Amino acid sequence: MKNIFKSLALATVALVSFSNSSFAQATATASASANIITPISIVKTVDMNFGNVAVSATIAGTAVLAPAGTRTTGGAGGVTLPATTGTVAAASFTVSGQGGYTYAITLPTSCTITDGSSHNMTVDNFTSSPSATGTLSAGGTETLNVGATLNVAAGQASGLYTNATGVPVTVNYN
């Protein structure tokens, strides 16, 4: 009988110890999830073209191309825009991504265009429409137009000036 009480006492101690340890800890679980959105992309649809520009032999000037594709002159009058305009176009891009999301626009500081010889001009003061931030339509696209200022030296050599590396425009989700 003494052994039965000892066994019963040990079993009780073991049961109490086991039940106390199960109340000392608790566990819960949380689910993990992620929503992958459509990557943002940008594709050029139209190249930037200042069209025909006439220059003064003695005075430098500028031609300003607005994102809407219109041109004006600036500077000290060294540039005129002839009636035969040539092809005039702001650069145009299609931005695609997740519908309704906003994105930041980064424009270049400047670029150089050349006639393939030793004659260069600088393009700078880039502007865009939309400006700084765009919002993708419900369908996930938006048109981004970019203009700039063409800096023309006095007596700039005639010829077709281009930029082989292009005008880099960057977009990123906000």
Task: Say how far apart CA 142 and CA 128 lie, in whole Å.
Answer: 13
Both structure tokens of 69 = 């594709």
Lowest mean pLDDT among 50-54, 127-131, 164-168: 164-168
Partners of residue 41 on adjacent β-strands: 96
Q: Tell me: the pLDDT tens digits for 3-52?
A: 554 554 555 544 445 455 567 899 999 999 999 999 999 999 999 999 99
Distance between CA atoms of residues 14 and 20, nearest Å:
10
Give the pLDDT score at 77.
Answer: 82
> What confidence score (pLDDT) does residue 15 get?
47
Domains of the chain: which residue ranges?
Answer: 41-173
Output the pLDDT for position 13. Answer: 47
